[in-house]
Amino acid sequence: MKTIIVLLLFMIFTSCADNTGHNSIIFINNTDVPIDVSYSLDYPDLDLGSYDIHNKQEHQRRIMPNKASSNPLMFGDINASWEGRFQVLPVDTLIIQVFDSRIIDEYIWSKIRSDYMILQQYFVSLENLQSVDWRISYPPTPEMKDIKMWPPYEEAIKNAESLKP
């Protein structure tokens, strides 16, 4: 009986996830239109991915105008830290993609992909996320100016200003 208890305790303690890091990325929509946000681990492949964003994958969120995500971007297991995930990525870069939700609702994924109907892509490193306190915004904030992105910072600001509800 003592052996079983010891074995159970060992299994419990060794299966606990590392909660010392950050397990979510908060996304803030500072526009007057809803946006969809997703992430990709496929850097440097800038293709929008073969998955259909309409399927509402775990790595996608819809964020209403002038709101922060109520359901942050997470990597699968709620207890898994992003710091741990970055350690196993082949490249220290996560792609965060921003779409106008109206485009997602109106067009099929193959059209969105072929016409590259994307508002913004951020290419973030672990250090980038730490420097912005795990908060990413669209349009990018001045604190995000040094993060690699497409379109570039100044153009992204102008594009966001032209979005109309």
Can you tell me whether residue 11 is helix, strand or coil?
A: helix
Q: How many CA atoms lie within 13 A of 7 on its CB side?
A: 4
- Tell whether pTM > 0.85: no
Q: Beta strand pairing status for 60-63 and 35-40?
A: antiparallel
Neighbours of 106 (CB within 10 A): 11
Query: In the chain, which residues have pLDDT < 70?
Result: 1-20, 44-60, 70-80
- For the stretch 105-120, pLDDT in tens is 999 888 988 898 999 9
Cα-Cα-Cα-Cα dihedral sign, residues 136, 137, 143, 145: positive
